[in-house]
Amino acid sequence: MMAAWRDVLARFHGESADKLMAGALALAPAVVKAEPPIGVQSGTEQGVPVAATASLAQTAALDDTTRPLSPLGPQSAVLRGERVLAAAALRDIGRERHENQDHCFAQVLFCPSDQRNLALGLFVVADGMGGHHDGGYASKLALSTVVQTVLTELIAPVLGADRPTPQPILQAAVQAANAAVHEAGQQAGSDMGTTCTAALVYGSELIVAHVGDSRALLIGGGVKQLTTDHTAVGRLIAIGALTPEEAHDHPLRNQLYRSIGQQASVAVEVTTTPLRDQTHLVLCSDGLWGLVSEANIADIVTEAPTPHMAARHLIAQANLVGGHDNIAAVVVTLPTTGEARL
């Protein structure tokens, strides 16, 4: 298991994040998802036929300590029409930029135990700061640092018998990303910086750790922005000095007052939300939310048959209405209430 995660992380350093869709089926036994995983190399949808999965379910127990899987039937969450945790991450250069400085990541896995089968999902968007040197490197370094920290401090213990508290771990992961980018900038004599928004689905909880102006949007019965825009305009909106409509074309809309890598330390915004009737989570850079309204994002995500198709449609819509910036989108289907386990 650890080797598989390290392999995923190692491959990220040499591949675009839109090709880094590691499947939960490769990391957890006996997982049936509502959609096939996205291929790591090709981006095409792949899957095991249900008939083949059912045949595997008939396999006899290996010894007295194991038992065969039950055949797929009405008790299956998928066949009951219930949602299970699934995700996709895609990025696009847009229509005007010559370099893609956005990076994104999505990983879902399930950890069976005697008590429950814990669903885990780690999702990250990092948007390198335009106008600064090495923005693409900064966003990639921040993302890989978050993933490595969560892997070591949270995922590895969960695979054992421990149940660590996720909030401080995710917060520390983003702080570690800040330290890594700041140190790299100091060594290179660069003012590199990036945003970083990381979300963790941990059973029936959603934890978000955030710096910058990428966004986390929770969908279900409306759209709720879980993050604060750490921009001059965002602060003006917060104090009531500016409306969101006025902010759209404001000259300070892209001026960050808090980002990853600009200072030796950074205050990380952390929120925890119980998962009840919400259906989807979207993490995105301003190349998406700056051009596509929250209502339109929600419509696209809820109408798409899979997270992968939703992410593709979101990027296509942003490009259709301008594509002025790089675009990163992570789309997560949240489990049905009470189905944090399969």
Average pLDDT of the segment spanning 275-285: 96
Starting from the edge strand earliest in sequence, which strands make up the sheet with 269-274, in order? 102-111, 118-127, 196-202, 205-211, 269-274
pLDDT digits (tens, 9 = 90+) for 229-242: 999 877 777 777 77
Q: Please, are residues 184 and 135 in contact by the beta-carbon 8 Å criterion?
A: no
| H-only helix segments in the chain | 2-12, 50-57, 135-150, 156-159, 166-188, 232-238, 244-247, 286-289, 294-303, 307-320
Instruction: Name the token pair of 124.
Output: 């990250």
Q: What global pTM score does this model have? A: 0.77
* Planar angle of CA 329, 331, 336, nearest 5 degrees: 165
Query: 66: exposed, middle or buried (C-beta count within 10 Å: 0-12, 13-18, 19+)?
Result: exposed
Assigned fold of 2-29+83-333: Phosphatase 2c; domain 1 (3.60.40)
Spans of all domains in the chain: 2-29+83-333
Question: For the chain, give me the number of helices (H) and strands (E)?
Answer: 10, 10
Confidence band, pLDDT 50/70/90 cuts, at residue 111: confident
Cα–Cα dist 333/229, whole Å: 24
**Residue 197 phi, psi (nearest 5):** -125, 115
User: What per-residue confidence (pLDDT) applies to 240?
Assistant: 75
Residue 273 has pLDDT above 80, yes or no: yes
Helix axes 166-188, 135-150, angle to 10 degrees: 150
pLDDT digits (tens, 9 = 90+) for 157-176: 988 778 899 999 999 999 99
pLDDT digits (tens, 9 = 90+) for 175-216: 999 999 999 999 999 999 999 999 999 999 999 999 999 999
